[in-house]
Amino acid sequence: MRSLLQLVLILVSCFPMIGASADSALPPVEKVTSHLDDLYRSEHSHARLAMSIKTKHFERTLEIESWTIGEQKALMVIRKPARESGTATLRTQDGLWNYAPRADRLVRIPTSLLSESWMGSHFTNDDLVRDSSFSTDFTTEVAWQKEDGLTRLVVRLIPKPDAPVVYTKVTFTLDKDSWLPLRTDWYDGDVIVRTTKYSDIRTFSGRQLPATMTVVPSDSPSEFTSITYRSLEFTKPPKSSLFTPSGLRRAARRR
């Protein structure tokens, strides 16, 4: 599945306006999967967002600043709370690193720790680095479906045998006209293990996009991790030097 940092880029996409009804002809599978792939692609972005986490043991909110270039380079720096300010995660084509500002230490995350939670959230380190293509890594079906009296476009994706995907099935529920995502269900076998819900449509740089996405684990429905964008820009690309140890340190020290 797409990485968390690419998942974050759902907000830097153009969405086609395609009208449909339950008795309309279904759109071509290739067009739908290409659209889903493009949802997570952007040449570059700069965002400020809040991540709210609720578990059985704690609740916390992080304010984060992020930058991306393409699909390989991403940097996320925590700005608040103050005790964690400057803590950062860097992704490049060579791997994933965490930065601890108090120790001024940059540590590469080994494969054995990829399944660990990222910042106590319901995302894992693996979510940050996993990469796949809906167009090439899945067998896909599309269908119209009635839900609460409304027609939705449902996309069912089954990973191919050699695809780098940990889920056995992924389903997207999309608005029938805009193709904005409303919900994603992630399966292990026939069981939904987590659901992502999209809400709070706002305008960023002239585009209407879902500003909030919330992940809920099925085995603990009272828990969640919610990401809300406060600002999002994709007009000025960051410098490539930002995605280096020295660039990370400079970004982490800024306020």
pLDDT band at 65 (very low <50, low <70, confident <90, very high): very high
Residue 41 has pLDDT above 80, yes or no: no
Q: pLDDT grade, residue 131 (50/70/90)?
A: low
- Helix, strand, or coil (residue 177): coil
- Residue 100's pLDDT is 96
The predicted structure's pLDDT at residue 10: 40
pLDDT at residue 53, rounded to an integer: 97
**What is the pLDDT confidence band of residue 9, given thresholds at 50, 70 and 90?**
very low
Q: Where are the beta strands (DSSP E) in the chain?
A: 44-54, 59-69, 73-80, 88-92, 95-100, 105-108, 138-147, 150-159, 169-175, 181-188, 191-204, 207-217, 224-233
**How much is the average pLDDT of 102-112?**
91
Q: Say how many CA atoms lie within 13 Å of 70 toward its Cβ.
A: 8
Stronger pLDDT, 52 or 126, i.e. the higher one: 52
Q: Which fold has domain 4-249?
A: outer membrane lipoprotein receptor (LolB), chain A (2.50.20)
**Cα–Cα dist 45/39, whole Å:** 13
pLDDT of residue 39: 64
Q: Is the pLDDT of residue 210 over 50?
A: yes
Residue 22 scores a pLDDT above 90: no
Cβ(105)–Cβ(88) below 8 Å: no
